[in-house]
Amino acid sequence: MATSLRRPSFSTCSSSPTDTDDEGVRGTCEDASICKRFAVSVGYWQDPYIQHLVRLSKERKAPEINRGYFARVHGVSQLIKAFLRKTECNCQILNLGAGMDTTFWRLKDEDLLPSKYFEIDFPMIVTRKLHSIKLKPLLSKPILDLHSEDTLQMDGHILDSTRYAIIGADLRDIPELEEKLKKCNMNTQLPTLLIAECVLVYMAPEQSTNLLKWAAKSFETAMFINYEQVNMDDRFGQIMIENLRRRQCDLAGVETCKSLESQKERLLSSGWESASAIDMMELYSKLPRAEVSRIESLEFLDEMELLEQLMQHYCLCWATKGGSELGLKEITY
């Protein structure tokens, strides 16, 4: 349906058994968004957009959590910008399970937007984000400013504009995902960056493998960024799993999170040509010293050991396919 962004209509999202089953996973989107919002409010990094999408928690988050999110945001951002520079922004980005992420708006501010930026998440989450975009001029204006037509494709689960699209879809249903992306003018000939942050781990291994294989097969030149758990076989990892289970959230794909090697092997066996992985403690040690000094001065951290344990159980992985003329394999952290 073609409609104005200023006067969009939202269809009602009805519940199904799958909606109920996925409630715990959707809850992790809320948790991560609130943690990011809190870290921004303390001064870990700048994000003028997140306050328009996420409420500020009254409960303080622990310093190790804030530092962990800083490393995550910094690490993913560095890889995204490396891809954009290699392709000179003549590319597209697919943010899988994007939640309340604000990367599109922040890239626009840095004049680093790709040809088109896509976000995909559960329809219920997309409906909520669209509602915020509709109500907040700081979010809607950049989309409208970049739009080249008089009308905008929009309903309760989808918005399609010239440079930005947000789509309500289940990543486990590849035919539906592909159909909706093509309707929003996804271009398989463009170099494509796919991003998944704590997404694959909530899918059964065969489902995440199908997604990774689809991505490797669909685009001639591509890069995949995956941020999620690692080293989950030890006692600390088991405690993480038990804590999530108590909140009705099962890590269905945890068996692929045994080690950095198992993470890389999954990517390589799914059709990707090169794969790299780094745990977040190692990434933290590579952060610019001035930035580390700045964030460590924001809050006192009583137990460095707890930060190390936490960061050793998350990793940043990236894989490439094609793009030798662009130097995609040279991208590293």
Domain hosting 321: range is: 37-330
Tokens for 250, please give them. Answer: 């099962």
Bridge partners, residue 158, by sequence: 155, 167
User: Is residue 139 included in any domain, yes or no?
Assistant: yes
Read off the pLDDT of each residue in 26-49 and give the average, rounded to a whole number: 91
In a domain, 184, yes or no: yes
pLDDT digits (tens, 9 = 90+) for 215-232: 999 999 999 999 999 999
- CATH number for the domain spanning 125: value is 3.40.50.150
193 forms beta bridges with 93, 223
- Residue 231 CA neighbour count, 13 Å, CB half: 17
Q: Is residue 186 part of a domain?
A: yes
Assigned token pair, 232: 């989950």
* Binding site listing for S-adenosyl-L-methionine: 72, 97, 170-171, 197
Structural domain total, the chain: 1
Closest-CA residue to 122 (of 177, 67, 70) = 177
Q: What's the CA gap between 200 and 227, in Å, rounded?
A: 9
Q: Is the pLDDT of residue 7 over 80?
A: no
4 within some domain: no
Domain membership of residue 183 (yes or no) is yes
- Residues in Cβ contact with 120 at an 8 Å cutoff, skipping those fewer than 6 apart: 94, 95, 96, 97, 98, 166, 167, 168, 169, 171, 177, 181
pLDDT of residue 125 exceeding 50, the answer is yes
| Residue 12 clears pLDDT 60, i.e. is over it | no
- Predicted structure pTM score: 0.92
pLDDT in tens, 136-145: 999 999 999 9
Determine the 3-state secondary structure of 33 from DSSP: helix
Residue 156 lies in a domain: yes
Domain-located, residue 31:
no
pLDDT at 106: 98
Q: Is 21 exposed, middle or buried (0-12, 13-18, 19+ CB in 10 A)?
A: exposed
The rounded distance, in Å, linking the Cα atoms of 321 and 275 is: 9
Q: Residue 45 in 3-state DSSP?
A: coil
For residue 16, pLDDT over 50 is answered with no
Locate 248 and state its tokens: 């009705």
Q: What is the per-residue pLDDT across 311-333, written as a single tens digit (0 to 9) for each?
A: 999 999 999 999 999 999 999 98
Which residues make up each annotated binding site? Answer: 72, 97, 170-171, 197
Position 16 in a domain? no
Phi-psi sector, 153: left (phi>0), alpha (psi -120 to 50), beta: beta
